[in-house]
Structure 1
Amino acid sequence: MAKHPAPPAAVVERLRLVCLDLPEVVEEAAWTGTRWCIARHNFAHVVMIADGWPPAYAKAAGTPGPACVLTFRTPRPAVDIPRLARKPYFLPRWWPDIAGMTLDADTEWDDVEQLLLASYCTLAPKGLARRVMAERG
């Protein structure tokens, strides 16, 4: 079986700093890449696309790779958020509230942090979400 590339360690570390700073988050090795969960719900997943694998991600992102991509949840249907339909974003059709983005040298990491906070609050228990929003607004 061929070994598929992992997301760059520096990218995973940047995401880790944001995600693990949130209450009750668990980091896991996913079927590919790394994911962060709250209450057993995946709110962020970073994956490396290479040579068209994984095919669902390559199709959704519109690239055979190489590309490092992050998927996250949105507080309302992703198609209702116009900027998520433009690069570097993409809209997988797995769930109505999922979006993704390509992470590269042009990534605005402040935007990524805000997207991750919104994703966390979308899936976190209401009390935790209220607490995080009160602290970080």
Structure 2
Amino acid sequence: MTDPADVPPELVARLRSLCMRLPEAYEEEAWVGTRWRIRGRTFAHVLRVASGRPPSYARAAATNDPVTVLTFRSPSPELEALSSAGHPYFRPAWGRDVVGMVLGDAVDWDEVEELLTESYCVLAPKKLVASVDRPAAAP
């Protein structure tokens, strides 16, 4: 039996391919799920919510059903836009600049790439940010 917090390996691999292309980014196991960091600061965290656990994520995502969620950092005013957009986005009760996203079947991977790159840029030193190729925003 797998742990309910186990994220499908194909999702971790897809996120890994997006996160690990960023300068000095690294991956590690989190207290639950997997996270990607820059100089000790988490810019992306993916995990499963199942049967209301972990409870803080289940409350934030407003579900007890099995779902995979991704949390990341977002700069203002994008933070407010995402926070008020509704599903698949949600606003956790922790972190002033943290946003969550339910990774469903219809996830837009170009959008995820853009969001993860921006999250990295929120936390990375300016010198590293200057070397990042940012995805073009959708028209």
Change (3 A) 1:79 1:118: closer
Q: How does 1:103-118 map to 2 (within 5 A)?
A: 103-118=103-118
Which structure shows the higher helix fraction?
Answer: 1
TM-aligned CA deviation for residue 75 of structure 1: 1.4
* Structure 2, unaligned runs of 5 or more: none
* Larger displacement relative to structure 2 (27-36 or 4-13): 4-13
| Percent of residue pairs identical | 48
Q: TM-score, normalised by structure 1?
A: 0.91
Give the whole-Å Cα distance in 2 for the aligned partners of 1:94 and 1:52: 18
Counterpart contact for 2:43–2:72, Cα < 8 Å: yes
Counterpart contact for 2:114–2:134, Cα < 8 Å: no
Change (3 A) 1:15 1:51: same
> What is the aligned-residue RMSD (CA, Å)?
1.6
* Structure 1, unaligned runs of 5 or more: none
Counterpart contact for 1:79–1:91, Cα < 8 Å: no
Q: How does 1:117-132 map to 2 (within 5 A)?
A: 117-132=117-132
Give the whole-Å Cα distance in 2 for the aligned partners of 1:103 and 1:125: 28
Give the counterpart letter for 1:13 in structure 2: A
Counterpart contact for 2:47–2:69, Cα < 8 Å: yes
Give the whole-Å Cα distance in 2 for the aligned partners of 1:96 and 1:76: 10
TM-aligned CA deviation for residue 77 of structure 1: 6.4
Q: Deviations over 1:89-117 (max 9, x none)?
A: 00002011000000011100100000000
User: Which consecutive segments of 4 or more residues in structure 1 shift more than 6 A?
Assistant: none
Give the counterpart letter for 2:103 in structure 1: L
